Amino acid sequence: MDVASITFVLFALAAALIFHAVANPLYRKTVLTLANLAFIASYLAEVRQVLPLAFFLLFGYGMIELVRQRRSGWALTLGLVFTLALYIFLKRFSFLSDLPTLPFSYLIIGLSYILFRIVHLIVDARSEPWDKPIEPWSYLNYTCNFLTMVSGPIQRYEDFRKGEQSLGQALNADTVYRSFSRIIVGFVKVSVISATANYLFQDLSAHVIAGSDTMPLVKFTVYYGAAAAAYTGYLYFNFSGYMDIVIAFGGLFNQQLPENFNKPFAARSFLEFWNRWHMTLSDWFKIYLFTPLMRLLATNFQSPALLPYLGVIAFFITFLVMGVWHGTTLVFVIYGLLMGAGASVNKMWQVKLGQVLGKKRHQAFNKQSVYIYVCRGLTFAYFTVAVTCLWVDMVQLENLFARLGAIGLAAAMLGLTVVAAFGAVAWDIGAAICARVKGVAIRFENVVTRNLWLASLIVLIAAVSSFYHKAPDFVYRAF
């Protein structure tokens, strides 16, 4: 069941109605469990396809309990190594194609995000004062929450538990209105904006992937830059629209799910970008990989002067792993290397610039408008070039880079940087104008006008959807 589909909306609305029919928390928890199971069942052709996922959940629970009871380093290491090994086996990474596999196809959707939740619980089970085992029922609802199972946001267990304690609360009209309006905005992003960007991307990328030898390099570079930029737009609006839909539905089930995006293209650096894009994934990697790694390095190399260089290493490893996690083939290793290189070069630039300019001049330099917009443009350009790995395979990537060459690639980066920098200026001006218009429009806001606004958005979704015939798939489901 695709989350950005009418089927999902009807399913979630029906579940919300049944959920609110009775205020009893146990009843509501049962409804959530049944909704989670029904959601998983929608992906199954036969029952046995769910068995590996069920085993992974049970195994993860066992590892959490082992670490909670022992609270030792070896138990933690054992729990993490075995859980990751099972995940890698089930995920069928291409570089492990020689390993034996299960003799039937099975469900792996959501496996990555379930892994994040289980690892979080395994690590925290060692340090948190949990005197009782995690309740298996809550564990099932937490790991298999139908709203967040496929692609997040990655909610922390303690926040999920707080939500469970407010299951019995009644909804108020404001929450319902805000949820519905955000669902509609989510569909505008997915079905209108991302569908349009995808339409452009499909058209442009066909020329790029075909690698037409007769096309002049300049034209080919422009096509590549435009295709890559369209894909970034498609990726952002598709994913953030999806997040709007699930977070808004969370409100209808008394769940306060964490935000996953915060204006990523306002970022002035690659590192800041990842504090704004897929934030719950970035936080997860920060807590469970970057911080322990930095602690290890900083404990072994205690000179303060070395700290920035240790940071460069830690950033490289963290972003490499984060990139590789996105897929199971070689092209995702390239993506991981590009992510790692972006993060470490970014950190090195910050360190060197600070050393050359000194503290006060560095601060003043960072506030210059031209520098800010160039950095925003460069951040967009680098991310856009790096995510090329998400829409080509390894052979296509090699052909693309061979066709572009160093000059074509540099020209594409430069062109994307300039266009994105001017785009950021235009965006900021537009946003300031919109804020003023909104300030005036809010005076006329009432039940009629705000519902008319939502109705007009629904008409827009219907009109554009009929134009494209089919809404684009949820792109992040593949990762």
Partner 1 sequence: MQEGQIYERLNVIFGDVFDDDSLALKAETTADDVDGWDSLSHIRLVLSVEKAFSVKFSAAEVGKLKNVGELVGLIQSKI
Contacts with partner 1, residue ranges (CB under 8 A) = 120, 123-124, 126-128, 156, 283, 286-288, 290-292, 294-295, 298-299, 304, 307-308, 310-311, 347, 359, 363
> At closest approach, how far in Å is the CB of 28 from partner 1?
28
Shorter beta-carbon distance to partner 1: residue 299 or 466? 299
User: How many other C-beta atoms are found inside a 10 Å radius of the C-beta of residue 432?
Assistant: 10
Which residues, other chains included, contact 112 with Cβ-Cβ below 8 Å and sequence gap of 6+?
A: 87, 91, 325, 479
Q: Angle at Cα 97 formed by Cα 93 and Cα 101, nearest 5°?
A: 90
Contacts of 211 (CB under 8 A, 6+ apart): 399, 400, 403
Task: Report d(CA 96, CA 282) in Å as an integer.
Answer: 27
* Token code pair at residue 336: 């991981």
68 or 347: CB nearest partner 1? 347
Q: For residue 441, give both structure tokens.
A: 């429009």
Question: What is the nearest approach in angstroms of partner 1 to the Cβ of residue 119?
Answer: 11
> In which element (H, E) is residue 353 found?
helix 330-357
- Least Å from the CB of residue 380 to partner 1: 22
Nearer Cβ to partner 1, position 20 or 286?
286
Helix, strand and coil in the chain, % to nearest 5: 80, 0, 20
Residue 287 beta carbon to partner 1: minimum distance, rounded to whole angstroms: 3
Tokens of 157: 């267990």
Give 105 or 291: the residue with its C-beta nearer to partner 1.
291
What's the gap between Cα 215 and its chain centre? 36
Angle 217-252/394-441 helices, nearest 10 degrees? Answer: 60
CB of 84 to partner 1, least distance (A): 16
Q: Which two tokens stand for residue 213?
A: 């030898």
Question: Least distance to partner 1 from the beta carbon of 189, Å?
Answer: 29
CB nearer partner 1, residue 304 or residue 439: 304
CA dihedral 110, 112, 117, 122 (to 10 degrees): 140
Q: Which is nearer to partner 1, 237 or 288 (CB)?
A: 288
| Identity of the residue, 2 or 272, whose beta carbon is nearer to partner 1 in the bound complex | 272
CB of 301 to partner 1, least distance (A): 11
Residue 229 CA, distance from chain mean position: 18
Q: Which residue has the tokens 């001006």?
A: 429
Q: How far is the CB of 263 from partner 1 (least distance, A)?
A: 16
Identity of the residue, 181 or 275, whose beta carbon is nearer to partner 1 in the bound complex: 275
229 contacts: CB under 8 Å, gap ≥ 6: 384, 416, 419, 420
Q: For the chain, what is the largest distance between any 2 Cα atoms, rounded to a whole number of angstroms?
A: 69
CB of residue 247 vs partner 1: minimum separation in angstroms? Answer: 20
**CA atoms within 13 Å, Cβ hemisphere of 300:** 7
Select 53 or 320, whichever has its Cβ closest to partner 1: 320
